[in-house]
């Protein structure tokens, strides 16, 4: 298992960014190139089980995930099925003077045929880094569109 951190900054307020990130029912509208659909199959106060259709590394996959949401700043995502089953993302959102600092602890578990692909961990961590950059851009753009429609 490979563990690493991703860290980025957004100009968005922590509460707004946290809401965008944890709104599972709407997340496919924030990042449609990666998240094709997200269907909640179980929903408790702070925990959701979600069937996700995702596009990653040129493949579209169906995966089951568990999301644990602890406002105002913690979001855990645990992959329950697929080639990355056992992988987790622990997201921490911290307010600062310029917006929000996001730190994600990734524990990457690779299963099946992917174990035998040379340098796959490095490729996946690089792609996750790029996806996080795109998330910040997409969330800020989504927030601007959402504010426009609220007015």
Name the strand (E) or helix (H) holding 75: strand 74-79
Query: How far is it, in rounded angstroms, from Cα 98 to Cα 110?
Result: 36
Domain regions of the chain by residue span: 2-146
- The 10s digit of each residue's pLDDT in 49-78 is 999 999 987 889 999 999 999 999 999 999
Mean pLDDT, contiguous 10-residue spans, the chain (151 residues): 94 96 92 93 95 89 96 97 95 96 96 85 92 95 71 40
Query: How far is it, in rounded angstroms, from Cα 64 to Cα 38?
Result: 10
Name the strand (E) or helix (H) holding 134: helix 120-150
Tell me if 32 sits within 8 A of 134, measured CB to CB: no
- The 10s digit of each residue's pLDDT in 73-93 is 999 999 999 989 999 999 999
Tell me if 148 sits within 8 A of 19, measured CB to CB: no
CATH for the 2-146 domain, from 3.30.1120.80, 3.30.530.20, 3.40.50.720, 3.40.50.10800: 3.30.530.20
Phi, psi dihedrals of residue 149, rounded to the nearest 5° = -75, -25
């Amino acid at each position: 298992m490979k563990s690493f951190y991703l860290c980025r900054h957004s100009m968005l307020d922590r509460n707004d960014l946290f809401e965008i990130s944890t709104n599972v029912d709407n997340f496919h509208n924030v990042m449609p190139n990666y998240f094709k659909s997200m269907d909640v199959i179980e929903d408790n106060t702070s925990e959701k089980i979600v069937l996700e259709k995702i596009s990653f590394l040129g493949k579209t996959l169906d995966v089951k995930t568990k999301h644990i949401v602890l406002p105002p700043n913690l979001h855990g995502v645990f992959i329950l099925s697929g080639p990355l089953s056992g992988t987790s993302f622990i997201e921490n959102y911290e307010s600062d003077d310029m917006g929000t600092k996001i730190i994600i602890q990734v524990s990457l578990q690779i299963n099946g045929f992917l174990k035998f692909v040379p340098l796959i961990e490095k490729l996946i961590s690089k792609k996750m880094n790029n996806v996080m950059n795109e998330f910040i851009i997409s969330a800020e753009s989504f927030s601007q569109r959402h504010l426009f429609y609220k007015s």
